[in-house]
């Protein structure tokens, strides 16, 4: 097991910068998730750690070794891919045993025991004689995991390992991965664009955009204390409401003149107020200064998602599923200043106290 350190890593193809002077310290045994939209540089970052891509600038460290000049096979990291990468003509047993045989990292006589141990961890013992085509998607992904586990590598690098599974299986496999990573305690870098996977699996999340990590923090910090509009908007479903307005004497005022809540800044000509759907309370009309009109009410089973017309802007708000709303109904709204976020409209930076 080992820490992983990126020092000022840049990857360029011609003029195009895929990863832009990024540094990152991943602690020994940490589960770090790189999360971001398609094309933001997550896979490229991971491939540079694995040695499959050479950084244009910067250093990659695994433990106390600077590995820039080491071949992938010498870096002692195990990769798990979205498409499993299994050998179709080999049995599950031989697929799992493959890295041990190739690397000669275990005495031949011990291989069956090690394979069975890894297969047992992912509940595949009864499938050892099957070929990959005789397995379900989830079982194939477990073979890929067992093949990574059997090596006892310094680190796991996982690139969207669940994204080929159907929605239900993904949720089950997510819980299995969570349990497994708790048991194995091996440093893991996990790439995904699925925010729920990131939130549920990570010790820390690095939210990436345009080749840079825009915020690095625990899931709690990323969700509850976003550093900028990009992170605020990317995390959460529905997305955080981003309301345009201004700040007048420590009060956020919408473009239509409604005073929503206290703010940390005193006066700003332009500002953006972020507030999550679940943090807006619907109250009796007239009991606050803020009112809105119901544009749509959608019962998801778990709750009611309201789309509200607030002056010229639309916002969403989640309410108790037992409440009934009708379209065009006027309702009062209450904002809690401790659950709102103020942002600078141009740079997107958070404005704090
Ligand atoms: P996704 O979630 O879609 O896999 P990602 O965040 O993992 O996205 P990367 O695969 O790291 O994104 O790619 C980052 C950018 O670098 C993309 O715009 C991609 O087109 C570009 N890129 C990747 N590999 C190459 C290459 N070999 N040559 C040129 N550009 C590349």
Distance from Cα 202 to the centre of ligand 1, integer Å: 23
Distance from Cα 51 to the centre of ligand 1, integer Å: 16
Q: What is the pLDDT of residue 111?
A: 92
Ligand 1 neighbourhood includes 326 CB (under 6 angstroms): no
Task: Give the number of other CB atoms < 10 A from CB of residue 290.
Answer: 19
Q: What is the CATH number of domain 4-234?
A: 3.40.50.300
Q: Is the pLDDT of residue 168 over 90?
A: no
Taking residues 199-206, report their average pLDDT.
Answer: 95
Taking residues 181-188, report their average pLDDT.
Answer: 89
Distance from Cα 259 to the centre of ligand 1, integer Å: 44
Q: What is the pLDDT of residue 330?
A: 95
Q: What is the pLDDT of residue 16?
A: 96
pLDDT digits (tens, 9 = 90+) for 281-316: 999 988 888 999 999 999 999 999 999 999 999 999
Ligand 1 neighbourhood includes 87 CB (under 6 angstroms): no
Ligand 1 neighbourhood includes 193 CB (under 6 angstroms): yes
Q: What is the pLDDT of residue 286?
A: 85
- Name the band, by pLDDT with cuts 50, 70 and 90, for residue 346: very high
Taking residues 171-175, report their average pLDDT.
Answer: 85
Q: Two tokens at 105?
A: 């990292």
pLDDT digits (tens, 9 = 90+) for 227-250: 999 999 999 989 999 999 999 999
The order of strands in the sheet holding 303-310 is 280-283, 330-335, 290-299, 303-310, 313-320
Q: Is the pLDDT of residue 165 over 80?
A: no
Q: What is the pLDDT of residue 184?
A: 86
Q: Is the pLDDT of residue 45 over 90?
A: yes
Q: Is the pLDDT of residue 83 over 80?
A: no
Q: What is the pLDDT of residue 81?
A: 82
Taking residues 157-182, report their average pLDDT.
Answer: 85
Q: Where are the domains of the chain?
A: 4-234, 242-343
Q: What is the pLDDT of residue 107?
A: 82
Distance from Cα 39 to the centre of ligand 1, integer Å: 5
Which of 16, 20, 34, 44 to mutate to test ligand 1, by most ligand atoms within 8 A of the CB atom? 44
Establish whether domains 4-234 and 242-343 are of one fold. no
Distance from Cα 122 to the centre of ligand 1, integer Å: 31
Question: Model pTM?
Answer: 0.90
CA distance 275 to 233: 10
CA distance 252 to 143: 54
Q: What is the pLDDT of residue 164?
A: 79
| Closest residue by Cα to residue 251 from 271, 236, 227, 281 | 271
Least confident of 154-158, 177-181, 280-284: 177-181
Ligand 1 neighbourhood includes 18 CB (under 6 angstroms): yes
Q: Is the pLDDT of residue 338 over 80?
A: yes
Q: Is the pLDDT of residue 89 over 90?
A: yes
Q: What is the pLDDT of residue 102?
A: 83
Atom of ligand 1 nearest to the CA of 11: 16
Q: What is the pLDDT of residue 62?
A: 96
Q: Is the pLDDT of residue 353 over 90?
A: no
Taking residues 259-277, report their average pLDDT.
Answer: 94
Contact of 242 with 272, CB cutoff 8 Å: yes
Contact of 48 with 191, CB cutoff 8 Å: no
Atom of ligand 1 nearest to the CA of 19: 14
Q: What is the pLDDT of residue 349?
A: 96
Q: At the fourth CATH level, which superfamily is domain 242-343? A: Nucleic acid-binding proteins (2.40.50.140)
CA distance 108 to 101: 8
Atom 7 of ligand 1 has which residue's CA nearest to it?
Answer: 43
Taking residues 162-188, report their average pLDDT.
Answer: 85
Atom 12 of ligand 1 has which residue's CA nearest to it?
Answer: 39
Taking residues 24-30, report their average pLDDT.
Answer: 96
Q: What is the pLDDT of residue 350?
A: 96
Q: Is 73 exposed, middle or buried (0-12, 13-18, 19+ CB in 10 A)?
A: exposed
Distance from Cα 49 to the centre of ligand 1, integer Å: 15
Ligand 1 neighbourhood includes 41 CB (under 6 angstroms): yes
Distance from Cα 79 to the centre of ligand 1, integer Å: 18
What percent of the chain shows pLDDT beyond 70? 100
At residue 344, the 3 state secondary structure works out as coil
Distance from Cα 61 to the centre of ligand 1, integer Å: 22
Task: Write the DSSP symbol of residue 202.
Answer: -
Which of 40, 46, 158, 197 to mutate to test ligand 1, by most ligand atoms within 8 A of the CB atom? 40
Atom of ligand 1 nearest to the CA of 16: 30
pLDDT digits (tens, 9 = 90+) for 58-81: 999 999 999 999 999 899 999 888
Least confident of 19-33, 100-114, 209-223, 336-350: 100-114
Q: What is the pLDDT of residue 289?
A: 84
């Amino acid at each position: 097991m080992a820490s992983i350190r990126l020092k000022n890593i840049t990857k360029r193809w011609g003029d195009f910068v895929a990863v832009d002077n990024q540094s990152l310290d991943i602690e020994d045994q940490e589960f770090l998730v790189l999360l971001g939209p398609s094309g933001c540089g997550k896979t490229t970052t991971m491939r540079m750690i694995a040695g499959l891509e050479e950084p244009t600038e910067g250093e990659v460290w695994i433990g106390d070794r600077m590995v820039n000049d080491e071949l992938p096979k010498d870096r002692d990291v195990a990769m798990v891919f979205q498409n499993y990468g299994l050998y179709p003509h080999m049995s599950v047993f031989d697929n799992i045993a493959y890295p041990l045989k190739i690397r000669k990292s275990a005495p031949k006589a011990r291989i069956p025991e090690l394979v069975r141990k890894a297969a047992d961890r992912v509940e595949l013992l009864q499938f050892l004689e099957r070929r990959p085509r005789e397995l379900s998607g989830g079982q194939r992904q477990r073979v890929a995991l067992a093949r990574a586990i059997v090596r006892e590598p310094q680190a796991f690098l996982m690139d969207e390992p669940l994204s080929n599974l159907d929605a239900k299986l993904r949720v089950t496999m997510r819980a299995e991965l969570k349990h497994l990573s708790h048991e194995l305690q091996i440093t893991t870098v996990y790439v995904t664009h699925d925010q729920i996977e990131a939130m549920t699996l990570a010790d820390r999340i690095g939210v990436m955009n345009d080749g840079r990590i825009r915020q690095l923090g625990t899931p709690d910090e990323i969700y509850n204390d976003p550093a900028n509009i990009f992170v605020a908007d990317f995390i959460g479903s529905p997305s955080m409401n981003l309301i345009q307005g201004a700040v007048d004497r420590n009060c956020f005022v919408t473009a239509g003149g409604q005073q929503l809540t206290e703010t940390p800044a005193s006066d700003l000509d332009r500002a953006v107020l972020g507030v999550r759907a679940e943090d807006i309370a619907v109250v009796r009309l007239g009991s606050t200064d803020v009112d809105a009109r119901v544009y749509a009410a959608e019962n998801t089973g778990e709750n009611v998602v309201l789309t509200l017309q607030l002056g010229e802007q639309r916002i969403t708000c989640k309410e108790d599923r037992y409440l009934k709303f009708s379209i065009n109904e006027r309702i009062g709204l209450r904002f809690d200043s401790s659950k709102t976020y103020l942002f600078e409209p141009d740079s997107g930076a958070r404005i704090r106290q």
